[in-house]
Amino acid sequence: MTPTPPEITDRTALARNRARAHGDLFLHAIAREEIEHRLSEVNRRFTKPAIVTGHPQAWTGLLPGATLVEDSPVLALEPGGHDLVIHAMALHWASDPVGQIVQARHALRPDGLFLGVLPGGQTLAGLRAVLAQAESDLTGGLSPRVLPMGDLRDLGALLQRAGLALPVADMLGQDVAYRHFWALCHDLRAMGETNALAARSRRPTRRAILNRAAELYAEHHANSAGQVVARYELIFLTGWAPDASQPQPLRPGSARARLADALRTEETPLPGSIKIPRTD
């Protein structure tokens, strides 16, 4: 029996935060532009696309006739009904990200394309560090305030675990300068990306903790112009629904030509290694 993943996200709080989002969703704009670029390099016309997102206003109009789907734990996707599924800036809030990708795979036709984009890596690592230090200095304890971010390798492995073929994961980094710590906090609220962790404290954060965090952030993350800098990293996940027409890896030992011959160079065995005689 497969264990149920622990609930990372308070979905009620997440919905409330998103409903209050009112600012420039600049991370979504960056992600959307990059997705558009990647789709332009795919030699295929998609006729039944679907986009999974918690911010439909940022993704409407990306593809003609695309179905917009809420990033709920159970996705409203038709099995085998799509040739493209984009999971847009929502996987980082999923308690079961593998399950989300598996659902997307089941919604794809054979040789359909999955594209995912989410914040990861070192996104807001500086903010997490100063909030933890400020709270520890003033209270002697810690409570979760910034969502844990998956790294490139771990997130890329989700594609294989979900059963997608030809998996690729890559990252785009973006440093953003703010006038001060409070402008960064305002930007996160405006994007609906404030604390919705299920394990968060339900008590309001003491002003003294935030003031101390602002001091620490200015001390450790300021640029030469006196602004504070936040690091965002967008991770892009690409995979295809399995199909017999796709390239298949060769069986180990089945090669019929040597790399040394292709490079027109002399092969030098390592000391103590066994040189396999040629059979051609």
Q: Could you give the domains of the chain?
A: 11-251 (3.40.50.150)
pLDDT tens column, 203-253: 889 999 999 999 999 999 999 999 999 999 999 999 999 988 877 765 666
Dig out the tokens for 237 from the structure.
Answer: 């996940």
Dig out the tokens for 164 from the structure.
Answer: 């997608």
Dig out the tokens for 62 from the structure.
Answer: 């990306």
Q: What is the pTM of this model?
A: 0.85
pLDDT tens column, 61-75: 999 999 999 999 999
Residues present in the chain in total? 280
Q: What is the pLDDT of residue 51?
A: 98
Confidence grade of residue 272 (pLDDT, cut at 50, 70, 90): low
In whole angstroms, give the CA distance from residue 192 to residue 58.
Answer: 12
The amino acid at 77: L
Q: What is the pLDDT of residue 163?
A: 96
Q: What is the pLDDT of residue 177?
A: 97
Q: Contact at 8 Å (CB) between 90 and 54?
A: yes
Torsion sign (Cα): 192, 197, 202, 208: negative
Q: What is the pLDDT of residue 112?
A: 97
Quick one: average pLDDT of 15-39?
94
- What CA dihedral angle connects 259, 264, 268 and 269, to 10 degrees? 20
Distances (CA, A) of 162 to 46, 79, 213: 22, 15, 39
In whole angstroms, give the CA distance from residue 124 to residue 195.
Answer: 12
In whole angstroms, give the CA distance from residue 93 to residue 84.
Answer: 22
